[in-house]
Amino acid sequence: MGSVGVGKTSLVERLVYQRFSPEYLSSIGVRVDKKSLELDDCKVNLLIWDIAGEFMTHKVYQKYLRGAAAVVCVFDVTREQSFLAIKSLISEISNEQINPIIYIIGNKIDLVKNKAEFNYLFLDESNVDMLTSAKDGEKVEEAFQFLSKILASNSPNLRRV
């Protein structure tokens, strides 16, 4: 989840299909993709629900939170507003009677790397799990690997392979 245009769909495209399109086409509903990740001692099958950023403004997303093992909150490191949006999303999630794992990704890190143009220090480091670039593929697989590890270690009916 995350504001419009932060790169949710792009992250999934990168992770699942190893591709990237600079063209923006906003999602208007929900898309679901699968991805299997091999960890050291187990395999995790992820079912990734890519939810339109547009839903953030209408709170339509709430019903998709039920049954989610984790919520990947994505923001754009060049847009402070998108970071504030996931902050309030997170506080809403914790108000609900569910508690999925919250995993925070700052995307589009390629735009700020080695450049002093953007001020991306608005992010509170202690809260951000991974900084990624769907464009370059940087840390995308790692992000989901890492999340899978957390999921696997939290999973009660873990099937070891």
Partner 1 sequence: MKKNYEFLINQDGKILKTDAPFFDASINENVAFYFPMFIDFNVTLDIENFEMDIYEASINGEKYFFKLKIHSINRNAKNVYDFVLEAEDLTEEYIDKQKHQTAYNKISIKNEYLRETNVKLDSQIDYLRTFAFVLSHDFREPLAVIKSFHDLVDNALSEKRYDDITELNQLAKKQIDLLDQMVSSLLKLQQVTSEILSNSDSQLNLSHLLDKIAKDIYESEKLQLHNQVADDLILNIDETHFYVVFQNIISNAIKYRKGDLVDVEIVCKQKDHFIEIVCKDNGVGITDEDKRKAFQFGHKGSMHNQDEIASYGIGLFTVKNIIELYKGQIGIEGNKDEGTIVTIRLPNNLIVDQMASEIKENQQFMDAKSFQNILFVDDSETTNFINKSIFESLSLHCQFYSVKNGAEAMKYLLGAKPYNDQNLYPIPDLIFLDSSMPVMDGVSFAEAFSKIRDRFNINIKIAMLSSMPMQKLKMDTKDFGIDHYIQKPLSKEKLKQFLQFN
Q: Which residues in this chain contact partner 1 in the complex, by CB under 8 A?
A: 4-5, 24-34, 45, 47, 49, 52-54, 60, 66-67, 79-82, 114, 116, 118-123, 125, 128, 131
Structure tokens at 61: 């997303």
Q: Which of partner 1, ligand GTP, Mg ion, none has residue 31 at its interface (CB below 5 to 8 Å by kind)?
A: partner 1
- One-letter amino acid at 45 equals N
Q: Does 139 contact ligand GTP by CB under 6 A?
A: no
Please state, in angstroms and rounded to a whole number, the distance separating the CA atoms of residues 80 and 117. Answer: 14
Q: How far is the CB of 31 from ligand GTP (least distance, A)?
A: 9
Using CB under 6 A, which of the segments 57-65, 113-121, 133-141, 143-151 binds ligand GTP? 133-141
Pairing of strands 30-38, 43-51: antiparallel
Of 21 and 62, the one with the shorter C-beta distance to ligand GTP is: 21
Pair 61, 55: CB distance under 8 Å = yes
Of all residues in the chain, what percent are helix, strand and coil, respectively (each to 5)? 35, 20, 45
Chain centre to alpha carbon of residue 79: 16
Within 43-62, the residues that bind ligand GTP by CB under 6 A are 52-53
Please state, in angstroms and rounded to a whole number, the distance separating the CA atoms of residues 119 and 28. Answer: 30
Q: How far is the CB of 2 from partner 1 (least distance, A)?
A: 12
Q: How far is the CB of 53 from Mg ion (least distance, A)?
A: 6
